[in-house]
Structures are given as C-alpha cells and as structure tokens.
Chain A
C-alpha cells in the first residue's frame, strides 16, 4: 500500500510538472506575453501579446487610476462606467476638477499616481519626459498633426471655445459680442473655467478673448488686457467655473468649451452659448500614459477603449468632436444622431499649434497675476 500511494504521488507530481511546463510555454507563441515588465514598456498591443493578452493582463491588475475627469465633461461619466462594466476593472477617479497642470503634478511615483492623463497641448508638450510612448490599434486614423510621432501624446477630442451664459442674468437676455461683457449689467458675473496659468480651458478662454479683441494666435496680450479691464470694472469673478458654481449662480457667464454647455443646460434652464464669429478657437486635449504608471496594462487597455468606435462615439454623445471623427464618418461607424446634434460652426475655425499654445502659456504665466490681482 505504501508503495502504491508513493507511485501514485509520483505520477501526480510528474503530471503536474508537465502541465505547468506546457502552460508556461503556451503563452509564448512567437510574440512576448503581457507580463508586468513587458506591459511597462509595450508601445502597442501587438508588442504585448495581442489584444487578448493585454485584456487579461489589465484584468489581472484590476484597477485604473485616472484624474481630472468630471462625469459631465465630454460624457466621461458614461465612458468610465462602460469601461468598468466591459472589463470589470475598477476606475479610481481622483480630483475631478483638477487642471492639466494638477494632473502632471500628481505624478509622484506612488501607487496613487494617475496611470493616464487627459491634458491640454502646452502641458503635454512640456512634460513628454514623464510619458511613455504607446500607439493604439487605430493609430493610423489620427491625423499626423494631432499626435507625437512615437506616441508620447495623441489628441483625443476637441471643441470650440465659447461664452456660456444664463440669459436671465444677462441684460437683454443675449450676448451679441464679446465687448458686451464690459457693460455694467455684468457685475461680478464673468468667469473662466480654469486658471489660465494651469488649465488648458482657461488658457484657451484667454486666447479666444485675444482673437475676438483684435489679437491673434501669436499675440494674446489683447486677451490678458481684456480680462484686466473686466477686473477693473468689477465684472470678473475670481472663481473657477464648474458645474457647481453654475448651479449655485456664482458664474452666470462662463468662458467654456462648447461641449460643456450642454451639461450646464441641465443645471440652468435656457443656458446658451455664444461663439464669436471672428474668433472660433478650436482646442484638442491629449492622452498620455504615465511612464511610472502603477497599472501599465490597464492604462494601455484604457487607451485602446477610448480610441475604439465605442469610446469615440461616447465622447461624441457628450458634444465633443472625437479625433477619429472624419475617418469614422467615411466608414459609417459614427453615431449619426449625436453628430447631427453638434452645435453648428459658422466661419473658419482656428486651432493654435503646439508652438503657439506654448508661447501663449508662457505669456499668461508671466502676466496673469499682475492683470487680475
């Protein structure tokens, strides 16, 4: 009996060894599998063993850290819950109203740091050393000017800068020109949706004000001057405009992206948006992956999801224009109803280049405090 059990034990041991060896080598198959070390530096899904391996690795990590993604911003609330339910990965969303600068400030090397960021152009350009390159499956659909060539950052969605307002708080119920804002009926009503020295939305608000007041994308001093005048007249309110401040009535006139005005329309009935016909400033945000991401596979899977048809259409539902929109419209995969609901754009949009945004940002950083203090 002793011998019998010993041989049986030996047989079990050998079999399990063979099984483990077989399992270990089955993941090989020519390309590297998506282990943690591979995921950290993989520059595409194929480099990580293919989409299935990436999904498996991401699920194994189980979590994703994101930052500065308010639920009502370009429909991010739906994007996050769709991603969570599709892959079962928990998304930890920190500091929903943080600015682009706050996002990269949070790269502190700990396990609480964000895995991915959604930042404005100038912040993306200034912080490429902190990102790791990655090219999503639909990389070819992104126009060349909208991405960094190796994949350090790539544009995701964009919109046009406008002035959202509550008609009940505005003399005459309508804004016809940006100069109206300097009138006496606007006391303590006009706000930016971010600090222009830190936030992309804030910076583009100043750029739009500059162009609408006779400046240009290369010289935004007119924009800073405009806000200085607003402050002197007492029309500027030093509060960052958010969903909350709109609802509370603190910021009835707000320089914001056109896609945000839809969500504000839910808090304040009749909320309108005015885009100056001579200053249609388009701005895109950019995705980037943290070089020291605590969950590298999940980060890459998130990017794949965002650039899939499903992800892009969810952004479109939020009123933003996804970067793959042209390609998807041709291919017929675009959500036609959502596309039709986008606000019409009359006139030629201007989109600041990377250099112009950086220069504008530097000008604002040097001169903003002095102008509105």
Chain B
C-alpha cells in the first residue's frame, strides 16, 4: 500500500470513527447525565435514581423475571435446537434446508404481527399450562431461533461432526454421551454466542410482553418511566452497559477458545 494511500485511509478512519463515536456516545452520555440529576436544576449530581432501582418493587421484579426468562430461553433453545441440528446433519440431511427455512422464518414475521396470532393462543396457555409470566419463554424461544440457528450452524460446520459421532458411537457411546461429551465441548464459542444472543434478545424484548399483558424488565422500565424518568433511565443505561460488558467478555473468551478453529477473514 502506498504511503499517501495509507495516510488518506488513516484520516478517513479517524474522521469516521470520531463522528460515529460522537453520534453513538452522546445519547448514552445524555442518559447517564439524566439519571444522575438532582431534583432541582441547581442540585448537585446524585446517585439517588440508581439507588431507587432497588427500592422500586416493580423494577426489581422485572429484572428478576427477565433474568429468569433469559436463562429458561437459552437452555430451552439449546435443548431444542442443538440435538435437532445434530440429528438432522447426521441422519436427515435432506431436510436441513427445511429446518434452516423454519429457523429463519421468525425474521419474516414481525413480532407485532406474530403477537396478534399469539394472543388467542396464550389465552389457552394461561388456563391450561401456566398463568405465570414465565410462559413468555415459549414465544421467546421462537424469537431467538434465527440468531441461535446461525450461531450453532457455524459451530457445527467447523467440527467434523460425522466422524466424531461415528467414532464415539462405534466405541459404545449412547446419544446422550455423544451430545454432552463430544458435541458440546467441541463448540463452546458457538454455544456461548448463541446463548448470549438469546439473553440479549430476551432482556431487550418489549413487544410480545407488553401486548400479552405480562410485566418483564422492559415493560416495567416503560411503566416506571411514566412516573420516575430518572430511575427508568438509570435501569436502561445500566442494562445497556451490562450487555456491552458481557459481549466484550465473550469476544475475548471466544477469541481464545476459537484458536483451533476457523477465524473469519482468514482463508485456510
């Protein structure tokens, strides 16, 4: 690369990154600023709004509910999707297209449209299965399908599933052992990625919960926002920063775990 081109590229990168950085960091900064405002215009900065999070029972309940939903959805997604994808790869390769299509289908049905059809279904679920808010996990599992599928698919593609599973089976392993001791340990970053994407989606989900009359974190943040904007903003920016830290950790850990595997951008 020539000297002048490298220089022009550097200027370009600096300008773009600075402008974009400003555009994205300003609202986050505004949220932090707003959540630490005092009561009057002249009051000093205070962490009152943050402390009030623990004192607002609705918010605490919302946080707990969403965390529970996140765990249930991630585990449910892994339990449903991973064995199915392994099975399809090994035994039913011809329907892998169908499975892929179905897993990407939720991207084409907007949540707001899906919830119109979920409403009568959930009336039934309310009466016959459970009235608890955790029933939302049924719907969330569908919403996370596209992202989890892509993640797990990439992970499965990177390991030689057929050989590994046949070797294990020929040595006498049952399917349970194959899943738990062969497949899962060989794709830790894909599983972690899929789980974290599911967690991020569940923590940020508002549409389905709101229109099915359930109270999860985002719905509670919206309620609290109508009476106490400072606390609501504190929760929102807190959740944002937490999710960011989690994903940063994932990229560092995942990078290390991925050293034996395919790294995007490099040709083998």
A108-B131, A111-B131 as given contacts; A96 in contact with B226, CB under 8 Å: yes
A97-B223, A111-B131 as given contacts; A247 in contact with B229, CB under 8 Å: yes
Find residues 39-74 in chain B having any chain A CB closer than 8 Å to their own CB: 57-58
Docked Cα-Cα span, A108 to B223, in Å, equals 19
A94-B58, A94-B215, A105-B213 as given contacts; A110 in contact with B126, CB under 8 Å: yes
Docked Cα-Cα span, A204 to B223, in Å, equals 23
Docked Cα-Cα span, A253 to B57, in Å, equals 32
Nearest-CB residue, chain A, relative to B224: A96
Which residues on the B side are within 8 Å of A109 (C-beta)? 126-127, 131
Are B213 and A96 within 8 A (Cβ)? no
Find residues 93-118 in chain A having any chain B CB closer than 8 Å to their own CB: 93-97, 105-106, 108-112
Whether A238 is near chain B, meaning CB under 8 Å from some CB there, is no
| Tally of chain B residues near chain A (CB < 8 A) | 13
Which residues on the B side are within 8 Å of A110 (C-beta)? 126, 131
Interface residues on A, range: 20 to 34
Are B226 and A97 within 8 A (Cβ)? yes
Nearest-CB residue, chain A, relative to B58: A94
Whether B106 is near chain A, meaning CB under 8 Å from some CB there, is no
CB 8 Å contact bits of A250-285 with B (1 = contact, 0 = none): 000000000000000000000000000000000000
Docked Cα-Cα span, A97 to B232, in Å, equals 14
> Among B131, B215, B225, B227, which residue has its beta carbon within 8 angstroms of that of A71?
B227
Highest count of chain A CB atoms <10 Å: which of B57, B126, B225, B227 = B227
CB 8 Å contact bits of B186-216 with A (1 = contact, 0 = none): 0000000000000000000000000001010
Interface of A is mostly: loop
Docked Cα-Cα span, A288 to B193, in Å, equals 50
A105-B213, A108-B131 as given contacts; A242 in contact with B227, CB under 8 Å: yes
Highest count of chain A CB atoms <10 Å: which of B127, B213, B215 = B213
Are A108 and B213 within 8 A (Cβ)? yes
A108-B131, A108-B213, A111-B131 as given contacts; A95 in contact with B223, CB under 8 Å: yes
Docked Cα-Cα span, A70 to B215, in Å, equals 17
Are A244 and B213 within 8 A (Cβ)? no
Docked Cα-Cα span, A221 to B126, in Å, equals 41
Docked Cα-Cα span, A366 to B223, in Å, equals 27
Whether B228 is near chain A, meaning CB under 8 Å from some CB there, is yes
> Among A96, A108, A112, A244, which residue has its beta carbon within 8 angstroms of that of B229?
A244
Q: How far is the CB of B230 from chain A (nearest CB, A)?
A: 9
A94-B58, A111-B131 as given contacts; A106 in contact with B227, CB under 8 Å: no
What are the 3 A-B residue pairs with the smallest beta carbon separation, nearest first? A110-B131, A97-B226, A244-B229
Residues of B within 8 A of A (CB): 57-58, 126-127, 131, 213, 215, 223, 225-229
Given A71-B227, A244-B226, A244-B227, 19 extra CB contacts under 8 A: A94-B58, A94-B215, A96-B226, A106-B213, A108-B131, A108-B213, A109-B126, A109-B127, A109-B131, A110-B126, A110-B131, A240-B226, A242-B226, A242-B227, A243-B226, A243-B227, A244-B229, A245-B226, A247-B229
Sample (5) of A-B pairs whose CB atoms are under 8 Å apart: A94-B58, A95-B215, A96-B226, A105-B213, A109-B127
Residues of A within 8 A of B (CB): 70-72, 92-97, 105-106, 108-112, 240, 242-245, 247-248
